[in-house]
Amino acid sequence: MQLIALDHVNLRTASLDEMVAWYETVLGMRSGARPGFAFPGAWLYVGDKPFVHLVGIGEEVEASDLQIEHFAFSATGFAAFVKRLEDRGIEYRLAPVPGYPIVQVNVWDPDGNHIHIDFSEDEAKGAV
């Protein structure tokens, strides 16, 4: 498996509209296309790349619920990576991204931080 790049940061928010406006006006990002997930959110782009993914979690939340939900890497070498996880007994979850040719391999580090590694759908054919 070869990591290619940090892909994006995912933030949970109780103030989705305000967060979108802040990233657009303060950092100059723009709202753009987002897969048809069943939960509210927004993707904020720099050029043609979504750098910040926001997930709306409702208005009545504790401050501890407002945090980085995950970070993601783009990678190649899907089969070798899945084999590495299985050889080490590391739990993982595969998730295709609706409407995008990407398959996520979701893992959690020893502190419980959620990380997903994104592979092309072509590399992961037959796995999901």
Taking the CB of residue 103, how many other CB atoms lie within 10 A of it? 22
* Residue 89 pLDDT > 70: yes
Domain-embedded: residue 110: yes
| 10-54 pLDDT tens trace | 888 888 998 899 888 877 789 999 999 999 999 999 899 998 898
Range of the domain at 111: 2-120
pLDDT grade for 103, boundaries at 50, 70 and 90: very high
- Whether 112 maps to a domain, the answer reads yes
SS3 label, residue 49: strand
In a domain, residue 87? The reply is: yes
- Look at residue 57 and tell me if it is in a domain: yes
Q: Using CA atoms, how far apart are residues 120 and 122, in angstroms rounded to an integer?
A: 5
Res 36: pLDDT: 92
How many domains, in total, are found in the chain?
A: 1
Domain-located, residue 79 = yes
Residue 118 has pLDDT above 80, yes or no: yes
Q: Between these two residues, 71 and 122, which has the higher pLDDT value?
A: 122
Predicted confidence at residue 61, as pLDDT, reads 65
d(CA 103, CA 52): 18
127 within a domain of the structure (yes/no): no
Q: Please state, in angstroms and rounded to a whole number, the distance separating the CA atoms of residues 67 and 36.
A: 22
Q: Which pairing describes strands 49-56 and 2-13: parallel, antiparallel, or unpaired?
A: parallel
108 within a domain of the structure (yes/no): yes
Question: Which pLDDT does position 111 carry in this prediction?
Answer: 62
Note whether residue 125 is domain-resident. no
CATH code for the domain of 97: 3.10.180.10
Containing H/E element for 120?
strand 114-120
